[in-house]
Amino acid sequence: MHIAMVSEHASPLAAPGGPDAGGQNVHVRALALGLAAAGHRVTVHTRRDDPDLPDAVDMADGVRVRHHTAGPTARIPKDRILAHVPALARGLERAWRADPPDIVHAHFWMSGLAALGAARDRRLPVVQTFHALGHVKRRHQGEQDTSPPGRLAAERDIAHRVDRVVATCEDELFELRRIGTPRRAVAVVPCGVDTDAFSPLGPAMARGDRPRLVALGRLVPRKGVQDVITALAGVPDAELLVGGGPAAGDDPSDDPDLLRLHRVARAAGVADRVRFLGAVARDDVPALMRSADAAVCVPWYEPFGMVPLEAMACATAVVASAVGGMKDTVVDRVTGLLVPPRDPDALARALRDLLADRATTTAYGAAGRDRVLARYTWPRITAATEAVYQQVLDDRRSAADSTHTVREAG
């Protein structure tokens, strides 16, 4: 099967950790590699954000990344890409005319717009993964939401026009139903984790005697890192390592989120117990997780949440906010603790209780590893995604056969 993936702002070649680079980059990369390992040919189409990028990069056997010029050949915030979606659609249309895929899988709503525009004349089947829904973002961010005005209407339209929507968790299925997506049009397939790379076995980052908490991800306000820092005031002696933000060599003073979090740490009186690591290389994340007593992930909302899975795969206990996909992945008082979002006091109580009982922390970590192995390995996720593709193709063939039969009868 030739599978075309469209991921307009999240290239599988980009390192996660920047303002618009995170779980989607990881997901697209791992899924493409998994599908190629299963014998498929995968082409990932993304926007050129650097003039020096080649037209195509062979990421691995069976996986090629195609860069399309659509707007400035520079990094721009994803919320400014909408104006360039028609150019991306034209690039996709040219590519698919020369090398048509069997199925298209769009990631994020603007990718869906481009994919549907390019697939229309060739009648290619399209599968959509949103990764985040605009009405959920608007609900939680209010006036701080920078999404283009037409996003909510576009997502409703995409959900009704594609052959299938792949939701990553039950919470997303609920939200899709709220905007009128028929249940039969949605398949639930979670994200996965590389259980070889993320494992209890391997080196751990050096540490001292203090209990260690780790928060990893983008530093934008909705990720809730400020709540972890504030809660640390109620967790005596513990240290917090924050991974994310500027890369080595970047000027930290250019990152407003990092400066904001430094101010939060000083105001909470915990600046001496918070260490900002900057961007953590992907290969270094497992060692960071293994060094922690607990990984803390408390966003205001989260479409899925890769970090808790990665911590669980390393047999590290998790404290997470009870939102989005984390309500599926983290089993409260089995693999970790779930807390209300935006509640530093409740978070501090949960962390104190957890760190006071080493046996429970260890048990949560072991149970988390077992849960990941049972449900969230990439081979399982790849097979489930393949099944969605095959069902879409079977439905298309059935519909074509029915139409042919009706015409013959007429």
Write the pLDDT tens digit of every residue in 184-205. Answer: 999 999 999 999 999 999 999 9
Give the burial string for 385-409 (b: 16+ CB within 10 Å, else e): bbebbeebeeeeeeeeeeeeeeeee
Q: What percent of the chain has pLDDT over 90?
A: 85
pLDDT at residue 16, as a whole number:
62
- Per-residue pLDDT tens digits for 140-182: 888 888 899 899 999 999 999 999 999 999 999 999 999 999 9
Domains (range + CATH), the chain: 2-192+377-409 (3.40.50.2000), 212-375 (3.40.50.2000)
**Nearest one of 146, 282, 307, 149 to 223, comparing CA atoms:** 307
Q: What is the pLDDT of residues 118-145, one digit of tens each?
A: 999 899 999 999 999 999 989 888 888 8
Please name which of 86, 95, 146 lies closest in space to residue 117, comparing C-alpha atoms. Answer: 86
CA distance 120 to 89: 10
Any bridge partners for residue 46, and if so which? 67
- Our measurement of the distance from residue 288's CA atom to the centroid of its chain's CA atoms, rounded to an integer in Å, reads 19
> What pLDDT band is residue 20 in, cutting at 50, 70 and 90?
very low
> Which pTM value belongs to this model?
0.90
pLDDT at 263: 97
Average pLDDT across the chain, whole number: 94
Please tell me the predicted confidence (pLDDT) of residue 258: 96
What average pLDDT score do residues 94-113 get?
A: 97
Mean pLDDT for the stretch of residues 257-286: 96
Q: What is the pLDDT of residues 335-391, one digit of tens each?
A: 999 999 999 999 999 999 999 999 999 999 999 999 999 999 999 999 999 999 999
Tens of pLDDT, residue by residue over 309-339, are 999 999 999 999 999 999 999 999 999 999 9
- For residue 90, the surrounding DSSP H or E stretch is helix 85-98
